[in-house]
Structure 1
Amino acid sequence: MNIIIVGAGKVGTTIAEQLSSENHNITIIDLNQKKVEEAAEDFDILGVVGNGASYQVQMEAGVKDADLLIAVTGADELNLLCCLIAKKAGKCQTVARVRNPMYSREVNFIKRQMGLSVVINPELTAALEISKLLRLPYAKKVDTFARGRVEMIKFRIHPELHVGGLKISDIPQKMKCDVMICAIERKGQVIIPGGDVALEDNDLVSMMAVPKETARFFKKIGIKTHQVKSTLIVGGGTIAYYLAKQLLEMRVEVRIIEQRKERCEELSELLPEATILQGDGTDKELLLEEGLKHTEAFVALTNMDEENLMLAMLARKYSDAKQIAKVNRIHFEEVIDDLDIDSVIYPKNLTADHITRYTRAMQNSMGSNVETLYKILDGKAEALEFVIREESKVTGYPLAELRLKDNLLVCYISRNGKLKIARGQDDLRVGDSVIVVTTHKGLDDITDILERA
């Protein structure tokens, strides 16, 4: 597809990187010549220097032939104007980043009146991701499929769980639960495991199951599954506001530490049920005084990545709280993964993943059938949900008889509203939803799971 991205900031360049790797034709627009040149060189894409809300600039970028325009500048109103001009100048779909909480309450009206395809809010997306993790505090990451009926939970195998050495094929019988281990990250390597692979201590495991079976599995290995009851948040920005709203609806006690007096006053009005504290959230004594030792969750949301990581590590030292740190700019994910922090949230990656899913969904109308897509294991693998719309080479045969790609696992089948873990004797049929995990990138049709002759 021909895709124009307006805005070469953190989010724009991350989207450009992901979409160019999927072989789309990308043009990026920004007023900053240096950013445009760097993005064009780094990702082998086209660049246009100028105002993305200018008709002439959009024409120069090829809006007449574009399939999609994505506006992710730092200004909501500019993003909306870019999309409005693109709708008039071309016939492309449009995606706008809109961050202001005031607009978030009017998002459906804005989409309908302006003809937008998608409105994306990175701060709200990050807050929803964090709230999912606080519902399931033992998880490092939670992704959902089949409209929320199947979860993929990423967690670490600690020695005290006593499951090291257990073969994957033995889990259903020994644990009396129906779960599937679909990916393992071990010493920097990603494994899509067969049944004869054994779990090892310190593995990062991605497990797929329906919520009831997930809870049963974790209960068997001695992990508590209840959501947190209290949360201490450092940093009172937009993510903190959205997160606090979510947590208060979940009946979680919320305390926010924010340094700016005027922001504390705003938050006190917006969140009357939360406790808002003015102070330096990096002050260890203040954190201890405000209940760090006793809180069940600690979320670091300051504007400094290094600060968030250090605060999460401090929380690890002084409490048993679930720690979550927000990271915007640091690119050393493999180093961060080695830190003893429960979960790290990358808002720019969440936004890029959301838009990548949408571009795959756009291709659905062109004959593809990807329903859901998640980049997992730091982008080294993908989890996809396909809808089978017609007979093909994969339908009507037991899975055991299909020549599937290496490093690919068919995990779940949803048929007539019923979910089941895929086994070798199961076949795929028209109308099925099928969940697949693989290290192969760019699958956009169910037949892509087959090894090519």
Structure 2
Amino acid sequence: MKIIIVGAGKVGELLCNDLSNEGNDITLIETDSKILDKVLSYNDIMGIVGNGTDCEILKEAYIENTDIFIAVTQSDEINIISSIMAKKLGAKYTIARVRNPLYFSQMKFMSESLGIDRLLNPEAEAAFFISKNLEFPNALNVETFAKNKVTMVEFLVQKESYIDGIKLKDFKHNHFSNILVCIVQRGQEVFIPTGNFILKSGDKIYITGNPNDIQEFSKSLGNNDEKIKSVMIIGGGKITHYLIKILLEKKINVKVIEANSEKAKILSETFEDATIIHGDGTDNELLEEENFRNYDALISLTGIDEENIILSLYANKVGIKKTITKINGISLFNVLELVGLQSIITPKKIVADHIIKIVRSLISSQEENIETLYRIAENKVEAIEFKVPKTSMIINVPLKKLDIKENLLILYIIRNNKVIFPKGDDVILPEDKIIIITTEKYLNDVNKILK
């Protein structure tokens, strides 16, 4: 695929790395030559210094031969205008990142009327991710598939827990027959385990099942899974704007501390049912004054990773049940292994995964054959929801007779909006959706699950 990316910020840089590693022909357009040179030094891609709204720059990048055009600058307006121009000049598929809440409310109209194929909002996606994580207070991570009908949740195996040292087939036979332990991360190793796999303390396990069974499993580990009723958010940026709306709809008590007076004022005027405080969220006296330790959850969403980490560590220390930490710097993750933070949100990774899902669908010439894609366990495992076409080689064959690749597991079949936990005699039908997990990289077609 020939892909043009406009904007070498955090998202643009991540996309250049990921998409070039998947074998695509990438051209990056960036106005700042120093930033461009930095990205080029780490990636085997082409680069052009210039503005994505400049017709001549787009022509220099051979826009007429471009399969996918992606605009992810800091300016919504530049992303929108450059995507419109790219489409007019011959780009087959255009994607624009749009972050402004005003534009977000009109995304469908803008997409249809302006001819942009996809408008993405990483902050809105991040807010949704956070809201799902709040549903499982003791989980490390929560991912959803099939329009929230299927949930995958990450837990830590604690020392002396009843699952420390248990064989998975015994866990399934003696404890939870409807829960599947589908991924185990042990240090730097990742396993798609069989029934003979034995769990150890320190393992991170990803389980799937219906939400009620997952709640019961969490309780069996000794967790108090009372619902989150109150949330304190430090930082009043765009994610917070979208998140407040979601939390208020769930009848959750929300308090926000924001250092910028103008942002605090706008939030206060927009959300009358939330408490908005103008102040420094890292000020211990202010936190105590606002009864910080009495909240069920703390969500750290400032623009500074280090501040977010410190706030979450402090919240853990004073006994707040759930912490969610926004971190933009991927390099900090190795440090986080040492301090054991709970849930971590990285907006640029969310939008990158979303774009990669679209790219892979287009590569396979079946637009949107990939419904959902998550790269988890430090990107060592991919969880993918495929729509199965009528021409697929896997239909009408009992699963036990399919020659499926090693380290690949079919978790669920979704048929007519019903979730089926498959057994060996089950078959996949045309228009079904299947959810798989695999350690193989770059799967873009459902037929490629076969050897």
What is the TM-score normalised by the length of structure 2? 0.95
One-letter code aligned to 1:374: Y
Within the alignment, does 1:30 sit opposite 2:26 as a pair? no
Aligned-residue offset at 1:129: 1.0
- The equivalences for 1:36-435 within 5 A come to 36-159=36-159, 161-366=161-366, 369-390=369-390, 392-435=392-435
**In 2, Cα distance between the equivalents of 1:117 and 1:184?**
37
Q: Deviations over 1:201-250 (max 9, x none)?
A: 22111111222332333344343444310011111112122211211111
Show structure 1 runs of 4+ deviating over 6 A: none
**In 1, Cα distance between the equivalents of 2:230 and 2:177?**
30
One-letter code aligned to 1:283: D
Aligned-residue offset at 1:83: 0.7
Aligned-residue offset at 1:394: 3.5
Aligned-residue offset at 1:13: 0.8
**In 1, Cα distance between the equivalents of 2:347 and 2:200?**
31
Segment drifting more, 367-376 vs 45-54: 367-376
**In 2, Cα distance between the equivalents of 1:29 and 1:308?**
31
One-letter code aligned to 2:231: T
One-letter code aligned to 1:78: I
Aligned-residue offset at 1:110: 1.0
**In 2, Cα distance between the equivalents of 1:176 and 1:331?**
37
Segment drifting more, 72-81 vs 216-225: 216-225
Question: Taking structure 1 as reference, are residues 279 and 366 closer, same or farther at Cα in structure 2, changes over 3 Å only?
Answer: closer
Structure 1, unmatched stretches of 5+, are none
One-letter code aligned to 1:358: I
Aligned-residue offset at 1:402: 3.5
**In 1, Cα distance between the equivalents of 2:127 and 2:265?**
21
Question: Taking structure 1 as reference, are residues 258 and 416 closer, same or farther at Cα in structure 2, changes over 3 Å only?
Answer: closer
**In 2, Cα distance between the equivalents of 1:39 and 1:172?**
47
**In 1, Cα distance between the equivalents of 2:225 and 2:328?**
29
**In 2, Cα distance between the equivalents of 1:450 and 1:148?**
27
**In 2, Cα distance between the equivalents of 1:274 and 1:369?**
40
Specify the SS of the correspondent of 1:28: strand
Aligned-residue offset at 1:35: 2.0
Segment drifting more, 272-281 vs 355-364: 355-364
One-letter code aligned to 2:182: C
Question: Taking structure 1 as reference, are residues 94 and 191 closer, same or farther at Cα in structure 2, changes over 3 Å only?
Answer: same
Contact in 2 for aligned 1:368/1:444 (Cα 8 Å): no
% identical equivalent positions = 39
Aligned-residue offset at 1:177: 4.1
**In 2, Cα distance between the equivalents of 1:413 and 1:189?**
28
Specify the SS of the correspondent of 2:70: strand
**In 1, Cα distance between the equivalents of 2:417 and 2:109?**
32
Contact in 2 for aligned 1:364/1:370 (Cα 8 Å): no
One-letter code aligned to 2:47: G
Question: Taking structure 1 as reference, are residues 92 and 391 closer, same or farther at Cα in structure 2, changes over 3 Å only?
Answer: closer
Specify the SS of the correspondent of 2:262: helix
Aligned-residue offset at 1:366: 4.2
**In 1, Cα distance between the equivalents of 2:425 and 2:223?**
33
**In 2, Cα distance between the equivalents of 1:353 and 1:391?**
27
One-letter code aligned to 2:272: P
Structure 1 match to 2:448? 448
Aligned-residue offset at 1:367: 8.4
One-letter code aligned to 1:253: N
Contact in 2 for aligned 1:53/1:78 (Cα 8 Å): yes
**In 2, Cα distance between the equivalents of 1:188 and 1:234?**
32
One-letter code aligned to 2:348: K
Aligned-residue offset at 1:61: 0.8
One-letter code aligned to 1:20: S
Structure 2, unmatched stretches of 5+, are none
Q: Deviations over 1:70-91 (max 9, x none)?
A: 1111111111110111111114
Segment drifting more, 343-352 vs 143-152: 143-152
**In 1, Cα distance between the equivalents of 2:394 and 2:2?**
30
Aligned-residue offset at 1:132: 1.1
RMSD of aligned residue pairs (Cα, Å): 1.9
Specify the SS of the correspondent of 1:299: strand
Q: How many residues align?
A: 451
Aligned-residue offset at 1:98: 1.0
